[in-house]
């Protein structure tokens, strides 16, 4: 049996199509627990910020450190299970910390340039940066990341402009909820 | 002309091999995910995986994730080599027939 050029080209297309879907599904599945965990972090952080606004700063600092530590632990656990996250290798721990510090430095520099930001503005700014990262990731890696980024950005802006009084609770329920749902969605093939 | 590897040439097995080849080295794919990616029925997929396993192209690992039974499939070194040869064979056909 020998194949025609058209049959060979069709087989190569099929290989490419299936390979891309497989790589994407793998990337989604490995990202899923990180989305769920950070969704829960957002829920706790925004709810706490609404109930105890005076302690919002220390609360977010604690949650952020816990989130980074949790991300590192998740990465290690998955690496042990033979399902390493794309960023999980021997430098993953320091990369998580460095990424977090880079985002923190960017946020601090932005506040320094633009002056005083209200708690609501601060609460909206970081999710917009997160949404931007997801959108960029989505443009390169897969539609579901892009959809998540757009959803987080739209929900953040919607809450900021139309539900200003209850913005923190809105972000807890809808912003955190969106991340958790996105994490569950990413698990599905 | 050289003959294609009939084990891989079959459409469902081609999808299985392509899906596994796209993973990072040493990674395994769960049966349920492979079923979705290959768009095959459970029985059909199981039968093709068995054929590939008998040829030494894939390895199958059965365990439990919590209380849930789990079957994971990975490409072996032999399978990777065979798949690369098959892809080279396909490219060879196209190049050969493209020559005037």
Q: Is B4 left (phi over 0), alpha (psi -120 to 50) or beta?
A: beta
Q: Does residue A22 belong to the interface with chain B, where contact is any CB pair within 8 Å?
A: yes
Which residues of B make CB contacts under 8 Å with A? 1, 3-4, 6, 9, 11, 14-15, 18-24, 26-29, 32-33, 36-38, 87, 90-91, 93-94, 97-98
ipTM at complex level: 0.89
Domain that holds residue B73: 6-98
Q: How does pLDDT run across B28-85, given as a tens digit for each residue?
A: 899 999 999 999 999 999 999 999 999 999 999 998 888 889 899 999 999 999 999 9
Q: Are A83 and B65 in contact (CB under 8 A)?
A: no
Mutate to test the interface with A, among B28, B33, B86 (most CBs of A within 10 A): B33
Residue B46 lies in a domain: yes
Alpha carbon B43 to its chain centroid, in Å, reads 16
Q: Is B68 within the bounds of a domain?
A: yes
What is the spatial distance between Cα B84 and Cα B46, in angstroms, rounded to a whole number? Answer: 23
In a domain, B38, yes or no: yes
Q: What is the pLDDT of residues B47-61, one digit of tens each?
A: 999 999 999 999 999
Total-model pTM: 0.77
CATH number of the domain that residue B21 is part of: 1.10.10.10
Contacts of A16 in chain B (CB under 8 A): 18
**A33-90 per-position pLDDT tens digit:** 999 999 999 999 999 999 999 999 899 999 999 998 898 888 777 665 555 544 455 5
Concatenating the DSSP letter of every residue in A54-104 gives GGHHHHHHHHHHHHHHHHHHHHHHHHHTT---TT-STTHHHHHHHHHHHHH
Tell me whether residue A165 is exposed, middle or buried, using C-beta atoms within 10 angstroms of its C-beta: 0 to 12, 13 to 18, 19 or more.
exposed
């Amino acid at each position: 049996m020998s194949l025609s050029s058209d049959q060979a080209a069709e087989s190569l297309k099929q290989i490419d199509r299936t390979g891309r879907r497989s790589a994407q599904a793998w990337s989604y599945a490995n990202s899923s627990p990180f989305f769920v965990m950070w969704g829960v972090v957002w829920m706790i952080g925004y709810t706490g910020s609404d109930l105890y606004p005076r302690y919002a700063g220390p609360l977010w600092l604690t949650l952020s450190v816990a989130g980074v530590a949790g991300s590192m632990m998740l990465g290690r656990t998955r690496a042990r299970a033979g399902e390493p996250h794309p960023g999980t290798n021997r430098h993953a721990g320091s990369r998580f910390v460095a990424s977090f510090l880079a985002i923190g430095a960017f946020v601090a520099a932005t506040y320094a340039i633009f002056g005083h930001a209200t708690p609501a503005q601060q609460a909206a700014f970081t999710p917009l940066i997160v949404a931007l990262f997801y959108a960029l990731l989505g443009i390169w890696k897969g539609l579901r990341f892009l959809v998540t980024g757009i959803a987080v950005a739209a929900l953040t802006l919607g809450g900021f402009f139309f539900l200003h009084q209850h913005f923190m609770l809105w972000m807890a329920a809808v912003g955190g909820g969106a991340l958790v749902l996105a994490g569950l969605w990413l698990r599905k093939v | 002309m050289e003959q294609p590897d009939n084990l891989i040439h079959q459409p469902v097995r081609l999808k299985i091999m392509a899906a596994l080849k796209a993973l990072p080295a040493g990674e395994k794919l769960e049966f349920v995910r492979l079923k979705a990616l290959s768009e095959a029925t459970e029985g059909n997929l199981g039968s093709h995986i068995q054929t590939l396993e008998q040829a030494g192209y894939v390895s199958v690992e059965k365990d439990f994730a919590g209380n849930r039974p789990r079957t994971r499939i990975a490409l072996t070194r032999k399978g990777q080599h065979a798949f690369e040869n098959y892809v080279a064979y396909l490219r060879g056909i196209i190049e050969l027939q493209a020559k005037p």
